[in-house]
Amino acid sequence: MANDKVSFVIDFSGLANYAPVEGIGSSSLLKMDGFYSATIERVTQGKSSTGNNKLILSLSVQDADERGQSLIADVLVSGSDKNGNPNIRQLGDLLYSLGMSPEQVKVMAGNPAAPGDAFGNQLKGKVTHVNVEAETYNGNTTSRVRGYISKQRYEDAVSANAHRKPRKSDTAFAGAPAGVTTGAQATGGTVVLNAAPSTNGTAKVDPISRIAGLNLPI
């Protein structure tokens, strides 16, 4: 009945392990596909649909025609791809796009493992260069980061006015789009950077210090 009094008690015991759940945002739909420069605004840790560790990047586009638009990108840092190659090569592509040379990326293989959150903090504020294509997933079309490119390749494409192309908006994507975490969030993830031993006889350097000391563009 409308006049029935509602009464209940609140059990607070479920707050014992409380941690805030914060979304990282979503990707915008850019007017064109192509190459873009973007600032890394935020980095969180997550799991891929197959259980591999990944860094989730929240990016802010810097190009004048799309300045301020957001992109979400995944960077796998554990496991192997279908060809048996280590997924952490995606992190190598990201570091290369930030300005590290291939030789500097290779040296990282001799470093000890680093906590994912601490490593991600060193990436914030830095400028990366990405290849973007539109995709449609569950009827929603957004722009997706397909990969990372070097600053030189980005600048060469801009100089030749070859950095934009018509949007590939009708492309269907079989899996979840970038930024959608299908597994549990990692709470103590580690970025493994010691896949191969150092062969140059030099002392190992903490990878977080190595990134911080590069003075990469911000």
SS (H, E, C) 15-60: HCCCCCCCCCCCCCCCCCEEEEEEEEEEEEEEECCCCCEEEEEEEE
Tokens found for residue 23: 């979304």
Query: What is d(CA 93, CA 105) in angstroms, rounded to the nearest whole number?
Result: 9
Model pLDDT for residues 117-133, shown as the tens digit of each residue: 999 999 999 999 999 99
pLDDT band at 20 (very low <50, low <70, confident <90, very high): low
Residue 181 has a pLDDT of: 46
pTM tops 0.95: no
Q: Which amino acid is at 144?
A: R
CA angle at 135 for the pair 64 and 65, rounded to the nearest 5°? 10
Q: Which residues contact 34 (CB under 8 A, 6 or more apart)?
A: 131, 132, 157, 163, 164, 165
- Tokens 């906590």 sit at which residue? 115
The yes-or-no verdict on residue 100 having pLDDT over 60 is yes
Q: Which residues contact 95 (CB under 8 A, 6 or more apart)?
A: 104, 105, 108, 211
Model pLDDT for residues 128-177, shown as the tens digit of each residue: 999 999 988 888 889 999 999 999 999 999 999 999 999 876 544 545 55
Q: Which amino acid is at 13?
A: S
Q: Is residue 114 within 8 Å of residue 206, measured between CB atoms?
A: yes
Average pLDDT score over the chain: 81
* Domain boundaries of the chain, sorted by first residue: 25-195+204-212
Query: What is d(CA 155, CA 207) in angstroms, rounded to the nearest whole number?
Result: 28
Query: What is d(CA 120, CA 10) in angstroms, rounded to the nearest whole number?
Result: 38
Q: Is residue 53 within 8 Å of residue 39, measured between CB atoms?
A: no
3-state secondary structure of 187: coil
Concatenating the DSSP letter of every residue in 53-87 gives EEEEEEEEE-SGGGTT-EEEEEEE-SSB-TTS-BT
SS (H, E, C) 101-136: CHHHHHHHHHCCCEEHHHHHHHHCCCEEEEEEEEEE
Query: What is d(CA 57, CA 121) in angstroms, rounded to the nearest whole number?
Result: 11
If one compares 179 and 3, the residue with the highest pLDDT of the two is 3
Model pLDDT for residues 187-212, shown as the tens digit of each residue: 445 565 544 444 445 455 666 666 66
